[in-house]
Structure 1
Amino acid sequence: MLIWTAKVNRRKIGLALMGAVILGAAAVAATVFWGGDAQASASMSPKGVKTAEDRAAYLESWGWQVEPEAVSVEELEMPETFGEEYSQYLELQAAQGFDLTKYAGKRIKRYTLNVLNYPGGTEGVQAHLLLCKNTVIGGEILGEGFLHGLSMPDGQQKEAPC
């Protein structure tokens, strides 16, 4: 039998616990105060997205149901500098919390997946996910005549057809 004993300073433990409670309260207050996009904060972490299942789960965290296998995977090189022609696209990505300018000149992959639950119909609706290594750095939903961020339009959520 092994017995361990330790001398515990109750004051230090109490201060550490109080500090943890204060930090937790500050984090909650900051989230409530600064808020941000409610859908973006509800989505899973963009890091560690390695497999087809991870990409599908990431899009599912935004409310989308997709076919897990990508329709296409393209390797792209981001421009060294983003001209005026990129301004609207950069704004779209920034509104979702993505900063593509950090990836200027880098090679990325764009995964295209078919969306199965777009409100109003799914024919030709796809999701693009931009990844640098195993991190989602951008994305959008597009179809005939529209392109928007990863958030579900008008807060709708629709189940995939059977």
Structure 2
Amino acid sequence: MTAKVPKRKLTWGVAAAALLCCCAIALNFGHAVREVSASGLPSPKGVKSAQDRIDYLSAYGWQVSEEPIATQELLIPEEMDASYDEYLALQAQQGFDLKKYAGKRVKRYTYEVLNYPTGEKGVQANLLIRKNTVVGGEVLSPQLDGFLHGLAMP
């Protein structure tokens, strides 16, 4: 036994099924994109407040002081000599291009790191920010035999 279905109803049924499939695929794709973004590095844009800065550092796994221990306005030099090479390379490894900001002013926010893996005290995290965008950063020990590395947890 076969049922007769008018072509018009069949066409509408196929169109509705195709629309549902497209919606399901789009929703699933959107979810997958969010997962990739969530697992990647934090966005350097939109870092406006103290809480935004703390959240940015937290995304790298750092627990830091509630307030910065220092805030300083810096001028990125127009001309950078060889003494800047290592620092520029460190920033470039993290995706930051400080050469883009030559001659520009940035704010450096320094926070005390409370959870350095070795347990060392006095470790600091710096964020360089220009117009609500993180343009550089590092974690360092200010001790005489200290260290300097990128924002990623060692």
What TM-score, normalized by structure 2, do the two folds share? 0.73
Distance 1:128 1:105 in 2: 20
> Partner of 1:86: helix, strand, or coil?
helix
Residues 55, 68 of structure 1: 8 Å contact kept? no
Distance 1:48 1:88 in 2: 28
What is the CA RMSD across the aligned residues, in angstroms? 2.5
Partner in structure 1 of residue 6 of structure 2: none
Moved over 6 A (4+): none
Of 61, 73, 89, 1:63 maps to 61
Query: Structure 2: any 5+ residue segments left out of the alignment?
Result: 1-14
* AA at the equivalent of 1:142: L
* AA at the equivalent of 2:82: E
* AA at the equivalent of 2:94: Q
Partner in structure 1 of residue 153 of structure 2: 152
1:73-98: per-residue Cα shift (whole Å, max 9, x none)?
Answer: 00011101211110000000000000
1:36-74: per-residue Cα shift (whole Å, max 9, x none)?
Answer: xxxxx7221110101111000000001111012101100
Partner in structure 1 of residue 12 of structure 2: none
Partner in structure 1 of residue 8 of structure 2: none
Q: How does 1:122-137 map to 2 (within 5 A)?
A: 122-137=120-135
Of 38, 42, 48, 2:46 maps to 48
Partner in structure 2 of residue 81 of structure 1: 79
1:98-149: per-residue Cα shift (whole Å, max 9, x none)?
Answer: 0000000001000000001001114110000000110000000001310000
Larger Rg over CA atoms? 2
Query: Structure 1: any 5+ residue segments left out of the alignment?
Result: 1-9, 32-40, 154-162
For these two proteins, the number of residue pairs brought into alignment is 127
> Partner of 1:141: helix, strand, or coil?
strand
* AA at the equivalent of 1:140: E
> Partner of 1:102: helix, strand, or coil?
helix
